[in-house]
Amino acid sequence: MNNAKLYWIWIVLMLYAQGSLVSCENNYNIMVSWSEQIPVGTHMDTVKANTPSGVVVNWQRADTIQDEVYYEVYVKNNYDILGMQNFLVFYSDRFVRRSAIK
């Protein structure tokens, strides 16, 4: 085979692989959408009960900064190329916001 033909085969395989990855469920987008829809002031128990299946919140370990409690969020099938670290922030067991850092 000549190089041009191998190049085109490689391109077709890469496009197919990319389509396969993109078609998988991306729980990161689900987590962002879910966390943006949580009303401020929602009790922690309600947030726990309504957590999507692809999202895991580490409720056993929390960091506290100026009376706000940060729970780390892990996302299954996460294709976030930036590798962001996400947290749910609570004050007095009430939801405040989602926070993300690099």
Q: What is the pLDDT of residue 20?
A: 47
Q: What is the pLDDT of residue 31?
A: 92
Q: What is the pLDDT of residue 24?
A: 60
Model confidence at 84, in pLDDT bands (50, 70, 90)? confident
Helix (H) or strand (E) holding 5: helix 3-23
Average pLDDT, the chain: 87
Question: The sheet that has 94-101: what strands, in order across it?
Answer: 55-65, 68-75, 85-91, 94-101
Model confidence at 26, in pLDDT bands (50, 70, 90)? confident
Cβ neighbours of residue 28 closer than 8 Å, sequence gap 6 or more: 75, 77, 78, 79, 80
